[in-house]
Amino acid sequence: MSVKPAREKAAIIGGGVIGGGWAARFLLNGWDVAVYDPDPEAERKIGEVLDNARRALPALYDKPLPPEGALTFHDDLATALDGATWVQESVPERLDLKHRIHADLTALAPAGAVIGSSTSGFKPSELNANGARAIVAHPFNPVYLLPLIELVGDADDCVRAAEILRSVGLYPLKVRKEIDAHIADRFLEAVWREALWLVKDGIASTEEIDEAIRMGFGLRWAQMGLFETYRIAGGEAGMKHFMAQFGPALEWPWTKLMDVPEFTDELVDLIAGQSDAQSGHMSIRQLERLRDDNLVGMMRSLKQSGSGAGGVICAHEARLEVPQTGDLPVTLDIQVPQTWTDYNGHMNETHYLEAGAKASDRFMEMIGADADYIAGGLSYFTAESHVRYLDETHQGARLQVQTQVLAGQGKKLHLFHMLRSGDRLVATVETLLLHVDLETRRSCPPAEAVEAQLLAFASAHAELPTPEGVGRAVGQQP
C-alpha cells in the first residue's frame, strides 16, 4: 500500500494584502498554508484575497492547478512555523519590527526552511544585522498573479528559494548586489517622483498620468521591458543608434528625478482628491477584480508568444498534470476566464470551438503528433467542425473536455469532444482532421508511430456507444 506524501507547508507571517497574496499563491498550488497575524480581521481579509485569487489564477491555465491545500490561522508563532518548508514575512516596513520578527523566525523555524522577507526596500544585511538568516523575496501585488519575485541574499538559500518559487508559477530574479529597494521598485520610485511633480506643478492630473502610461509605454513594457523596447526604437541600426540619437537628451532638464516635492497637506489633498474623482465610483474590491480580469487577459495573450509573464505561465503549465477519469481521455480541464464571456454573462460561442480546438491539440500530443513532430514537418489540419450549444456556462466555472475517437485510420482523424461543466453536458464539438505534409501542404499518411497510437485509441473507443449528436446537421431536430 503506497503512502501519499505529505503536502509542502508555507508559513505566512503577516496577513495583509501582500501576505494574503502569498497565501493564495501557495494554497492554490497545492501547499498547506499557516497564517500568523495578530490582526483579528486577518481571516476575513485573507478570505477576500482568496476569493479574488480563486477567480483569477486558474483562469491563466489550460490545465488544472493541484488540489487546493489546507489553510489554517494561528496565534502561536511556533505552531504556525512547525513543519514549514517556506516562511514568508510580510509585516510593515519598520526595521525594528522586522528585527524582532526575524529573531523569532530564526529561533523557531525548521533549520531547512527558506525564510523570505517581502520587504520592498531593506537589504538582507539590514534584516540580518542581529543574527537572523532571511533572504529578500520581494513580490509584486497581486502576488497570486504577477510572477516576479526579486531574490537578494545568501547564494545557496536563493538557489533553493528559486526552485520552490518556480514550482508555484513564479519568476525568481536574483539581484546581483545588495541595493536599497532592489531593482523594480527603484524604477517605480523614479516614475512616482516625476508623477508627483507633474501633479504638483499643475501639468497633469492623476488620471492623465495614468492614461499616458496605460495607453502607451505600459503596454510595450508588459511584453518587452525597457531595453528591448528601445532597441526596436533604434531601427535597423539597433541600440547603438538609439543611444547616439537620444543619449544627449539625458543632459536636458526634462526631469526632476533627483528632487522630491515637499509632502505637504496640500499636495496630499490634491492627489487624493484627483484620485477620488478618477476612481472613487468603484470600490477597492471592484478595482481589484477589474485589475485581475485585465491582467488575466493580457497574460493569456502573452502565453501565445511565450513573451514576458506568458513564458512563465507556459513553463509552469508544463509541470501540471490533467487528471484522467473514466473510459475517455480528458483532453482539456480549464477554468472559464472572463475573456471567454460576453454581454449575456455566459461563455461566448467562439470559445466553445476554441475549447474543442485545444482538446484536439491535446489529443494530437497524446498520439505523438506533438511540437517535435510538427517541427519535423508533419501535422493535422482541421477540415470541418460542428458545434452544438446545449447549455450555458459562466466565468469561473470548471470546463472539462473528454474526447472520443470516431475514426482514426490513414489520413483521417475523426474526433468527438464532449464539453462538461460539472455534471452538465454544455456542448459537443465534432471535428474532422486530415494529416498533412507541411512542406507540400497536402494530405499524407501519418508516421508509423503516430498511426499505431491512433489506432490503439480508435480500437478501444470502438467498443463504446456512439455519442448522441454525432453527424448532426445544422437545425436538425433531436
Quick: pLDDT tens for 374-424: 999 999 999 999 999 999 999 999 999 999 999 998 999 999 999 999 999
Of 86, 231, 236, 232, the residue nearest 164 (C-alpha): 86
Q: What is the pTM of this model?
A: 0.88
Q: How big is the chain, counted in residues?
A: 478
CA end-to-end span of the chain, whole Å?
A: 49
Q: How far is CA 126 from CA 76, 122, 150, 324, in A?
A: 26, 6, 16, 50
pLDDT of residue 370: 96
- Kindly tell me the sign of the dihedral angle through the C-alpha atoms of 196, 201, 203, 206: positive
- Predicted confidence at residue 18, as pLDDT, reads 96
How far is 110 from 92, CA to CA, in rounded Å?
24
Q: From the CB of residue 339, how many other CB atoms can be counted at a distance below 10 Å?
A: 16
Q: What's the count of helices (H) and strands (E) in the chain, helices before strands?
A: 17, 14
pLDDT by residue for the chain (478 residues), tens only, comes to 444 456 899 999 999 999 999 999 999 999 999 999 999 999 999 999 999 999 999 999 999 999 999 999 999 999 999 999 999 999 999 999 999 999 999 999 999 999 999 999 999 999 999 999 999 999 999 999 999 999 999 999 999 999 999 999 999 999 999 999 999 999 999 999 999 999 999 999 999 999 999 999 898 898 888 888 888 888 888 888 888 887 777 777 777 777 778 878 898 899 889 989 988 898 888 989 889 998 999 999 999 899 999 999 999 999 999 988 888 999 999 999 999 999 999 999 999 999 999 999 999 999 999 999 999 999 999 999 999 999 999 999 999 999 999 999 899 999 999 999 999 999 999 999 999 999 999 999 999 999 999 999 999 999 999 999 999 888 787 6
User: Is there a binding annotation on residue 16?
Assistant: yes
Residue 14 is assigned to a ligand binding site: yes
- Rounded CA gap, 295 and 57, in Å? 10
Which is it for strands 412-421 and 424-437: parallel, antiparallel or unpaired?
antiparallel
In the three-class reduction of DSSP (H, G, I as helix; E, B as strand; rest coil), residue 169 is classed as coil
The answer to whether 213 is annotated as binding is no
Cell of 90: 510580510
C-alpha cell at 321: 498534470
pLDDT value of position 5: 53
User: Which contacts of 48-51 are long-range, i.e. CB under 8 A and separated by 24 or more positions?
Assistant: 48/20, 48/285, 49/17, 49/20, 49/21, 49/23, 49/24, 49/142, 49/144, 50/20, 50/23, 50/24
Domain ranges of the chain: 9-181, 185-281, 325-461
For 168, residues 6+ apart whose C-beta sits below 8 A from its C-beta are: 25, 26, 29, 31, 316
Beta-bridge mates of residue 409:
412
30 is in an annotated binding site: no
- How confident is the model at residue 241, as a pLDDT? 80
* Residue 271 CB partners (closer than 8 Å, separation 6+): 196, 199, 206
How large is the C-alpha radius of gyration of the chain? Answer: 26
The correct CATH number of 325-461 out of 3.10.129.10, 3.40.50.620, 3.40.50.300, 1.10.40.50 is 3.10.129.10
398's CB contacts (< 8 A; 6+ apart) are 64, 333, 334, 335, 336, 421, 422
Whether residue 19 is annotated as binding a ligand: the answer is: yes
Cβ atoms of 271 and 207 within 8 Å: the answer is no
17 appears as a binding residue in the annotation: yes
CATH architecture of 9-181: 3-Layer(aba) Sandwich (3.40)
Alpha carbons 111 and 10: distance in angstroms, whole number: 14
Q: How far is CA 427 from CA 5, 441, 461, 471, 477, in A?
A: 37, 31, 20, 14, 16
Just give the CATH number of 185-281.
Answer: 1.10.1040.10
Quickly tell me which residue has 507556459 as its cell.
314
